[in-house]
A and B are shown apart, each in its own frame.
Chain A
């Protein structure tokens, strides 16, 4: 791809890179990462996707399918709709995330931690049951519209058409921006702001001219994820029955029985190319600017105080946003305790029977979910850090290509990855005669590959904010490259690593599409699969919701624990760096 150009094209302020020679160690890391991606992403996906380049029903090579794509109105309309919805969702998500991130990091704000944890939860929408909860709350005959209709005789089409997709996706994915931006803001050197304040800048101007530009890597990391994720997401459009977008078109064609239709795979290829292009474009936005500051977030003065009137406004704004984005979860909670909930603002009655019913099954499901999601998150931050380091600190040709390759995983539909894994690994037998594809570790790797782009963006943004001169100083003092990474780079990146881990962990915990292909016994099933099994019948709705609530709780606990860990390490680092 554009690797060569990127490897040598860094100029101007990105110069510190030049200080580092591509050593054997870096090359070895690069090759390891490449091997990992080739075996677990490129090869399995290629076994499925090649159909796009063959004539239907035979295996001869052709590009006719791509011409057909361009000639079909439906696909072109879908392509445009996907672009439009993604761009608008970035706008919507930014509007939700910016106030939360800014107010809770820049000011003395009671409950800032709580807001950051709650603001993360919308990312965790358990499959199927989350959709039902959303409809029950915001749908045409959901609680909000039934009440509005009763009081003033109007209904608001929250969940209709493309606007519905934009609305739901903004709520769903704004945590990507929130998490990355919050981390970036926390890492900022506050003395910069103070300097600006001393020079008379304040309010919105201070934000626009100083704070936001310095935190740009975090914002771009989040916003680009939102864009690509909305572009590639099929759950929400299908939930709203919007079918003229690319991802649902690919999904509907790939998963139909019996018909070997190449167009589904053609669309998958288009999705992958478009996503990689979008990520590449977003990297241009932060390429030639140096975002690194020497001081880390702990420096400078304490957070600013809010004055009385603005304090009231700020708390009110945060409350409204949190209430809006958590409404689906409140509905989910209600649903998990509801007897029957049908065409009414609230359920007919409440019961704990659903929790009793899932109780016996859930221990194994919870254990598997925690195990898989934790391992996947760890793999992701290790690989993510390695790639970021190679791109930002080494001169290895093709490092940027690794970044884009890993990012392409975002665009691979889960079901394609699942089928690819079966195809690639099923015939590899383990020592006991069972297939590699039926081992649970394969589920972990599939989850890690699918969530790698999230962690990668967070790691990348974190490293971008660290000045390479700190590393040079360490090396000048005689530290080896390994020791520098271990003692300087990793500790300084902690915030970003945690953000990456949490995002991967949390979203892996509710992943279903690839998992559904790979789970081969009940004993290996994660929560999302158990939830799916319940959500196929009328009486399974309550128990499904109960499992959904459990999944959300697990993730919330995971987020809190990781933040605690991050806090502790940050405090230790700050101490040792003498801030």
Chain B
């Protein structure tokens, strides 16, 4: 074969040809599907291309859901090398659909766990490259105008003074928020955890359908307080917004991940990119004020800016809840759907109940009345009741409703949803009635 022929073939099929034959020296186009903003991807792209001049990084931005769907729909002729996003659950889905391939990164010194959460997938299908923790972010101007104190714990957000001032993303829409809720449920126990969540929810102003909606609303001052992942707050601060952030003591530190897509057209370059992200050079990029994430390599913190949180040494970030991944996976859909049916889609109703309870609490703070207090407790018990127990949540009957399939037993998802929604509705009404009685006594 003569050289000119090869050149034409190369030119024609450049993108379609697997480039594994060049594996020694990564080169060519490397396609990444990511949910990360330009602010995160741009500095990484620049540094990676400087270190590997023969590779061009082609970044395709999609939100996590759209990215997963895209890989699923295009698997027959996959053109994507890497999937790069926060939520570990999205990677679990990809892994279960065999859309990822395993690899053993070259980086050394990365521990097995950060806090209580494993950094890498045990089978090597995806790797944590940066950690993030959950907490509360707030707008200082808003807090000042409304004369609200700084919160420290999730419990603080259940207090009546924060009524209508709090925002959260729906856990079914935001893998990171799902983990926050799951952390509270595991940290405080099922019933008590839901009670905290539902009382906090009574103070919600809104439940947004995308993670970034929360910091957006807090930054612009439309809503005072948001339950967010730390880097949203840190990068907002770096952009000059008047916001603050705190890690409550019941929180989880979880890794953001990267994985190599099955049948990646440019596997060599994909591996080089993973190795680069985990290398000291890649880890140090995370300190960029626009990125602001926590490196997973403890050695990287030697170069951290002053005051940067270090999850490996900070005692506050180390006393975190032991996070049971298996448990979380088994009831993933049940928790999301419970939240949506009893909180997201019933917010106005729930807030009515919360408002009634808040009024009683405020009245009792002025003048105590044991009888009213007893009624109030009943009202709170009604409002915070959960339709299913912890055991039921991960039972095959309920998980079968979400997975479907022939010959399954138990109710369909739509039936469960209707049951849970009416359960919440009835209990909210009962809570309102009790609170009204209590208010009469307390006045």
A343 lies within 8 A of B221 (CB): yes
Contacts A422-B70, A533-B38 given; does A252 touch B173 at CB 8 Å: yes
Chain B nearest CB: distance from A265 CB in Å? 12
A539 lies within 8 A of B209 (CB): no
How far is A58 from B414 in the complex, measured between Cα atoms in Å?
16
A74 lies within 8 A of B345 (CB): yes
A57 lies within 8 A of B404 (CB): yes
Contact residues in B for A429 (Cβ distance below 8 Å):
77
A-side residues, CB < 8 A to B, are 55-58, 60, 64-65, 68-69, 71-74, 132, 135-136, 139-142, 161, 238, 241, 243-244, 248, 252, 255-261, 263, 339-344, 415, 419, 422-423, 426-427, 429, 432-435, 437-438, 516-517, 519-522, 529, 532-541
B window 240-265: CB within 8 A of A: 240-242
Q: Give the most central of A65, A241, A258, A427: most B CB within 10 Å.
A: A258
25 A-B contact pairs sorted by A residue (CB < 8 Å): A56-B413, A68-B415, A69-B414, A72-B414, A72-B417, A73-B422, A241-B208, A252-B172, A257-B175, A259-B402, A342-B219, A342-B221, A342-B241, A343-B139, A343-B141, A343-B145, A344-B141, A422-B70, A427-B77, A434-B79, A435-B77, A517-B62, A533-B61, A539-B239, A540-B37
Residue of B nearest to A535 (CB): B212
Residue of B nearest to A56 (CB): B404
Closest 10 CB pairs between A and B?
A57-B404, A343-B221, A56-B404, A537-B37, A57-B405, A68-B414, A536-B37, A433-B16, A538-B236, A422-B73
Q: Which of B13, B40, B70, B221 is close to A517, meaning CB atoms less than 8 Å apart?
A: B70
A-B contact count (CB 8 A): 200
A342 lies within 8 A of B242 (CB): yes
Q: Which of B40, B70, B344, B402 is close to A243, meaning CB atoms less than 8 Å apart?
A: B344
Residue of B nearest to A341 (CB): B220
Chain A nearest CB: distance from B100 CB in Å? 14
Q: Which of A132, A252, A257 is close to B220, meaning CB atoms less than 8 Å apart?
A: A132
Chain A nearest CB: distance from B147 CB in Å? 14
B220 lies within 8 A of A136 (CB): yes
A432 lies within 8 A of B38 (CB): no
Residue of B nearest to A68 (CB): B414
B65 lies within 8 A of A539 (CB): no
B239 lies within 8 A of A257 (CB): no
B-side residues, CB < 8 A to A, are 12-13, 15-16, 35-40, 58-66, 68-70, 73-74, 76-77, 79, 89-90, 93, 139, 141-142, 145, 170, 172-173, 175, 206-209, 212, 215-217, 219-223, 232, 235-236, 238-242, 290, 333, 336, 341, 344-345, 348, 402-406, 408, 412-415, 417-418, 421-422, 425
B207 lies within 8 A of A263 (CB): no
Contact residues in A for B208 (Cβ distance below 8 Å):
241
Contact residues in B for A437 (Cβ distance below 8 Å):
74
Residue of B nearest to A256 (CB): B172
Chain B nearest CB: distance from A245 CB in Å? 11
Contact residues in B for A519 (Cβ distance below 8 Å):
60
Residue of A nearest to B414 (CB): A68
Chain B nearest CB: distance from A351 CB in Å? 11
Q: Which of A259, A341, A522, A535 is close to B333, meaning CB atoms less than 8 Å apart?
A: A259
B333 lies within 8 A of A540 (CB): no
Contact residues in B for A341 (Cβ distance below 8 Å):
220
A517 lies within 8 A of B69 (CB): yes
Residue of A nearest to B344 (CB): A243
B66 lies within 8 A of A517 (CB): yes
Chain A nearest CB: distance from B238 CB in Å? 7
B37 lies within 8 A of A340 (CB): no
Contact residues in A for B69 (Cβ distance below 8 Å):
255, 419, 517
10 additional contacts (CB under 8 A) given A74-B417, A244-B345: A57-B408, A135-B222, A243-B207, A259-B333, A435-B74, A536-B61, A537-B212, A538-B235, A538-B239, A540-B37
Q: Give the most central of A60, A437, A536: most B CB within 10 Å.
A: A536
How far is A494 from B63 in the complex, measured between Cα atoms in Å?
41
How far is A257 from B219 in the complex, measured between Cα atoms in Å?
28
How far is A343 from B242 in the complex, measured between Cα atoms in Å?
9
A432 lies within 8 A of B16 (CB): yes
A258 lies within 8 A of B241 (CB): no
Q: Give the most central of B39, B212, B222, B223: most A CB within 10 Å.
A: B222
A520 lies within 8 A of B414 (CB): no
Contact residues in A for B241 (Cβ distance below 8 Å):
340, 342, 538
Contact residues in B for A342 (Cβ distance below 8 Å):
139, 141, 219-221, 241-242
Chain A nearest CB: distance from B228 CB in Å? 11
B68 lies within 8 A of A257 (CB): yes
Contact residues in A for B79 (Cβ distance below 8 Å):
434-435, 438, 520
